[in-house]
Structure 1
């Protein structure tokens, strides 16, 4: 009898804990046939011409009460070619390794994560931040890549009339270049309009930034942006694109044109993408990307779980 009471007490305690916290396993499976510039046609997993990198992640959240919550997110990349780990940095959890605490005052997080600049540009970029995004491949998400190591960041709460903002900081001792860095965005997303300003800067360098927006007419959307990469080799220009939806089929065309390029030639780059939704979580896609006079092609399928 005593043992039964103890078992029931343990089950009750674990049930209460489970009611207050949760852990979710999620991921992406993406593979197809790709033809990269200068390479042979082959199966592609986690390449430039896949819609996204295959990945496996785990995230958890605990309700601390009073509107306060704490959570974590770990994510690793993999290739469907051979099952090998695909690094987006150093280590197994190179895609994301962070923890956060948040409430009605906003969210504070620490770790390796996508940058505020990335979130700013992806708020209006037409392909959904696909690997073959002409914006990302030409101007590198406001000139700084998609991820920061050792980032402290604060994001405002939702419900500010469509506005939100995030600012991140990397201390000098945590930077691969031994330089401190700040990274920030301001986003407006309300109804058919999405717009943002994203900027970042290494200490001793010049600020990179991007300003852009999108208007969704329903079955058709247009987007435009201006991008300035000034830290290192300067590259500056604009992007302009449109997207049309016909039932389950979506077609996107996006162009990026250099106004300044210290590396030499001013390029006109573009991407053309077609997607067909098989369900809410699975779609097939075909895309062609031209970047700096190099042509790339991809045909594949993506499943989110």
Structure 2
């Protein structure tokens, strides 16, 4: 009996110690907006999902392994607040396991590409909602042989190394394995990002290659971008230059934006120019203006209005989940009013 009590006590102590050395967090974003979009003499009005931030549900955790080492995991999936979509729920946004230490972080699994992160960070509206930058897959969202287009947001089968804190320097290098039966190089990608953030200044450059095409006849789609922002306190201007190239196509992007603290919220504005370097009369311009009012640290009411002006051979659309693809040469105007809650 005595030995049994001692064993039970030891097991209880071990369980408590294990619980103290690790933690798991449930987190997410619920975001929906009432949106109206008009193009080609037609209009659509409805409830859109993710006007300010993409709605999501996730779990993440870190375990202290001792000796300066930690193990971590991150599982995050998309949800639809507008219609409750969660059937067949999967961790499509991120599913990674990591080893962290003074050396930095080794991360395995599905994650954002290094180049895509600059598109989000150096634009006043990020890549969600009516004012979204729409800066990935500038050449094609369905490029043959690639994982998810000519410059995907995320890739599966990825191995990444992230630098530790180095006096403001940050960076990441990643490789995603294609795992295609016919040709393992197809749908693979490699990316690199290097930046510097210190006080109000943040600047970063990124480069990536996505392998497409067909077996024994591959096509490399290359992307590169450079972004910067500076917080002056009363205003934060930001600038971004990007280019996607491959398969005898090239599209460049130029964007300037600003964030201004105003009252209990923030005013946002951005201008973006999409320049097709291989086709005449196929450019687009988008202007967006919005405001977010903070009810608390986690809850925000927001409104935005945007217009996409297309040349005769262009058909780019706004970022709202309700936005249809316009006819060639037709412009698109939209506005939204919504609410976002982080938990």
Same fold (TM over 0.5): yes
SS in 2 for 1:230: strand
Aligned length: 297
C-alpha deviation, 1:4, in angstroms: 4.9
CA distance in 2, matches of 1:261, 1:177: 28
SS in 1 for 2:220: coil
User: Are the aligned partners of 1:168 and 1:183 in contact in 2 as well (CA < 8 Å)?
Assistant: yes
Which residue pairs with 1:18 in the alignment?
19
Q: Deviations over 1:95-125 (max 9, x none)?
A: 1111111110111111111111122333332
Which residue pairs with 1:200 in the alignment?
208
CA distance in 2, matches of 1:177, 1:30: 38
Which residue pairs with 2:196 in the alignment?
188
Bigger Rg over Cα = 2
Tell me which of 82, 94, 102 is aligned to 2:100. 102
Moved over 6 A (4+): none
CA distance in 2, matches of 1:55, 1:134: 17
User: Are the aligned partners of 1:134 and 1:270 in contact in 2 as well (CA < 8 Å)?
Assistant: no
Summarize the alignment of residues 208-247 of structure 1 with structure 2, pairs less than 5 Å apart.
208-232=223-247, 233-247=249-263
User: Are the aligned partners of 2:62 and 2:70 in contact in 1 as well (CA < 8 Å)?
Assistant: yes
User: Are the aligned partners of 2:130 and 2:336 in contact in 1 as well (CA < 8 Å)?
Assistant: no
C-alpha deviation, 1:187, in angstroms: 1.3
CA distance in 2, matches of 1:216, 1:176: 44
When residues 96 and 141 of structure 1 are mapped into structure 2, their CA distance, relative to the original with a 3 A threshold, is farther
CA distance in 1, matches of 2:136, 2:179: 27
C-alpha deviation, 1:201, in angstroms: 0.6
When residues 198 and 27 of structure 1 are mapped into structure 2, their CA distance, relative to the original with a 3 A threshold, is same
User: Are the aligned partners of 1:123 and 1:195 in contact in 2 as well (CA < 8 Å)?
Assistant: no
When residues 194 and 31 of structure 1 are mapped into structure 2, their CA distance, relative to the original with a 3 A threshold, is same
SS in 1 for 2:283: coil
When residues 237 and 245 of structure 1 are mapped into structure 2, their CA distance, relative to the original with a 3 A threshold, is same
Which residue pairs with 2:64 in the alignment?
63
Tell me which of 147, 154, 173 is aligned to 2:179. 173
Which residue pairs with 1:145 in the alignment?
152
SS in 2 for 1:207: strand
User: Are the aligned partners of 2:227 and 2:241 in contact in 1 as well (CA < 8 Å)?
Assistant: yes
Summarize the alignment of residues 29-40 of structure 1 with structure 2, pairs less than 5 Å apart.
29-37=30-38, 40=44
Gap runs ≥5 in structure 2: 140-149, 212-218, 309-315, 317-330
SS in 2 for 1:40: strand
TM-score normalised according to structure 2 size: 0.79
Of 94-103 and 123-132, the range deviating more from structure 2? 123-132
SS in 2 for 1:157: coil
C-alpha deviation, 1:297, in angstroms: 1.9
User: Are the aligned partners of 2:119 and 2:126 in contact in 1 as well (CA < 8 Å)?
Assistant: no
